[in-house]
Amino acid sequence: MSEFARRTGLSPATQNPRRYLWTDAFAVCNFLELFQQTAERRYRCYAIELIEQVQQVLGRYRDDDLRRGWISGLDEERGRCHPTLGGLRIGKLHRERGINEAIDERLEWDRDGQYFHYLTKWMHALCRAASITGDSDYVRWAGELAHGSFRAFVRRSASGEVVGVYWKMSTDLSRPLVPAVGLHDALDGLITFWEIQHAMQDHAGFDDLSHANETLFALCQNKDWTTDDPLGLGGLLFDACRLCQLLRNEHQREIHLLEDVLQACLSGLTELLASRYLDQPTTHRLAFRELGLAIGLGALPMIAEAIERDGSRSWDSPNLRRLIDLLLPYESLRGEIIDLWLPHSHHRDEGWTVHHDINDVMLATAMIPTMFLFVANGIRTDTTP
């Protein structure tokens, strides 16, 4: 992680740092984890400086964009106070597709814009930063990002009904760049918005997310979340882990949602192993996608512990216990994935270095995923200054 900080222009800070929203969200959690484990202030400083740098860089238009300043349109002073109000760019290599430019599906993966599922990862990182530093501004920024992204990304039918969440929007959130709907975006948004509300439950003046939550919850009803994509599976397990921590004798509908997510995790893992994808040569695979699965698998003991610890709660159903019993044996796959990719990080072979930053950061998270997987119980006030 220290090499990542140097290589990407975080520390020492460079004039043109290399920031990428997904990777940096995991990196914030990693630096906070290192601070918790070692009590070395430099890691806490890395996390704080990374948050500031990401929002200063990705909260503004690109240098090669004719537009200037904060994406939100705010002036410099107000933009610094509300750096997430207009959203945050992905940080891709190429600028976004023009309004009259035909879509190129291959090139679109390398074009900038905003991804909803990247924004939710950043909201989560801000919540974790608030819990460790005691600074409620981080959750305020997460809430402003939640409100703005919800309004921009919801996809409506001709009659005005919300029917999904757009996969990718333009930098200024004025138009969809990819009209498709993300498979897990509504679920990820719902749980992340619950997390933000949970983090600010004792703080007055926080804008309520209840309407957004109800809308997203409606989109999550009776859905099959199953995927055999390793990164998607890791995200589902991450969502299940947070859901277990956030549920507190809630209504039966939340219990059913958790069951649906865990069932999708079980079905997806079964399909993934049956496909023998993980037996293919590493030259045909992407490390960070499998490391995302390893991170999610690290959540299984936490999910089991939550259910065991609170076994008297009304949402502790026999079906949940059955699903956990079937899922827990897959946790050993986490170590196998880490052991497979760790030598590649040392040898720096071509397959690793082509995605160097994201591979390094997600490997670090997979090795010690606690900070990333936890949901804070409010904001601490007894933190190290």
For the chain, what are the domain ranges? 224-385
Tokens at 235, concatenated:
């995200």
| Strand locations in the chain (E) | 114-115, 154-156, 162-169, 176-181
Q: CB within 8 A of 102, min separation 6: which ones?
A: none
Predicted local confidence at residue 350, as pLDDT: 84
DSSP 8-state assignment for residue 8: T
Q: CB within 8 A of 11, min separation 6: which ones?
A: 5, 45, 46, 49
Radius of gyration for the alpha carbons in the chain, expressed in angstroms and rounded: 20
User: Token pair 């400086």 is at which residue?
Assistant: 49
Tokens at 4, concatenated:
């990542």
Strand partners, 162: 156
Measured CA distances, 63 to 58, 72, 133, 285 (Å)? 11, 16, 32, 33
pLDDT tens sequence across 271-303: 999 999 999 999 989 999 999 999 999 999 999
DSSP 8-state assignment for residue 169: E
pLDDT tens sequence across 110-169: 999 999 999 999 999 999 999 999 999 999 999 999 999 999 999 999 998 999 999 999
Predicted local confidence at residue 379, as pLDDT: 54
- What pLDDT band is residue 384 in, cutting at 50, 70 and 90? very low
Q: CB within 8 A of 107, min separation 6: which ones?
A: 94
Q: Cα(199)–Cα(349) distance, rounded to whole angstroms?
A: 41
pLDDT tens sequence across 193-229: 999 999 887 565 566 899 999 999 999 998 999 999 9
Task: Please check the confidence at residue 82 and state whether its pLDDT lies above 90.
Answer: yes
| Strand locations in 259-303 (E) | none
Secondary structure, 3-state, 241-255: HHHHHHCCCCCHHHH
Predicted local confidence at residue 253, as pLDDT: 80
Contact (CB, 8 A) for 326 and 300: no
Predicted local confidence at residue 259, as pLDDT: 93
Q: List alpha helices for the chain, DSSP H.
A: 2-7, 21-38, 41-58, 76-81, 105-108, 116-133, 137-153, 185-199, 210-219, 230-246, 252-274, 287-297, 300-309, 318-327, 332-347, 350-353, 356-367, 370-373
Task: Please check the confidence at residue 311 and state whether its pLDDT lies above 80.
Answer: no
Measured CA distances, 19 to 24, 44, 79, 113, 244 (Å)? 7, 18, 19, 14, 32
Strand partners, 156: 162
